[in-house]
Amino acid sequence: MFSNQKLFISTYPFGKYDKHPVELLEQAGINFTINPLNRKLTAHEVLDFAKDCTGIIAGTENLEHLVSESKNLKFISRVGIGLDSVPLKLCKEKGIRVSYTPDAVTLAVAEIVLGMMITLPRHVVFADRQIRSGGWTRPVGISIQSSIIGIVGLGRVGFKISQMLASLKPKKILVCDILDKSKDIKSLRTFGLDIEQVSLNSLLSFSDIVSVHVPLTPLTKNLISKDELDQMKKSAFLINFSRGGIVDESAVYESLKKNEIAGLALDVFEKEPYFGSLIELDNVVLTQHMGSCSYDCRLAMESQATEELIRFFKEEKLMSEVPDFEFENSPT
């Protein structure tokens, strides 16, 4: 049925924990190849593997070279929500359609961030490192109940985290967003939350835990840099599970080294895999861009991306095509 279509799956892993997405492609009769290197591909590698393909199921790989040079590519199905790796304006110019899976990741990311809001300020990882090297200092930290929580970006994930925090009864939640979030805040107050939308400066100045949940755009590049870090309490903790490049890695390294903030949890980096200087510091928890890495979340993302691609090849209505405003906000 689709013998004239060629698909490359650049995301890794794909079908590793559940074969359902692969089975969907096999049942549809689509000619596909899965990333053979079992790691994140470079932009040049994506081009080499996918230059003759009409469709690609992609993760966070940089697709700029592929989109720029391919003469056959017609559709990109993004496993996940971030679009900073997709040159949307160039896609529009070349008539390449793009879909993503924005709802599939919400719960998994919210869960791991909530866990980090407990783990980081209670020094759990530090205690683990210390006990393995013979230490035993029983560090004391702050609780959610005693904390003001700052949520930068009240989108899907920010809203879900706020909702989940209700049972832990934080002292207050401060929200910063470029959009008016009064309706969402009204909804969240029904859970008993003391929650308010404020400026970024106010959020940074008063929060004990700051969690970042915005996309990477020209407006959010280095959103949290030296000036912003200087506004935070010395006792405050910073968490970023959104995109690398939103928190200035060099600036936050200096702040942490000088104990100008208390700690950092970082799941996303400007360059991945990460080998930078933050690994030197004890008041940092680093994870491997794994916010969406739960079995059910991964299966949902891969399945939804696959189903969308099959709909495209069948010339059916797409269910999760990237909306126009994302193209308008894209730098490329």
Q: Which residues are catalytic?
A: 243, 272, 289
CA pair distance 243, 269, nearest whole angstrom: 7
220-227 contact pairs (CB < 8 A, 24+): 220/246, 221/245, 221/246, 222/246, 222/247, 222/248, 222/251, 223/152, 223/247, 224/152, 224/248, 224/251, 224/252, 225/251, 226/251, 226/254, 226/255
CA pair distance 50, 70, nearest whole angstrom: 8
Tell me, letter by letter, the H, E, C secondary structure of 13-48.
CCCCCCCHHHHHHHHHCCEEEECCCCCCCCHHHHHH
- Token pair, residue 178, equals 């470029």
Q: Are 270 and 249 in contact (CB under 8 A)?
A: yes
Helix axis angle, 156-165 relative to 106-119, nearest 10°?
Answer: 50
**Cis peptide, bond prior to residue 13, ω within 30 of zero:** yes
**3-state DSSP helix/strand/coil percent for the chain, to nearest 5?**
40, 15, 45
The one-letter code for the residue type at 268 is V
- DSSP string spanning 220-271? TTTSBSHHHHHHS-TT-EEEE-S-TTSB-HHHHHHHHHTTSSSEEEE---SS
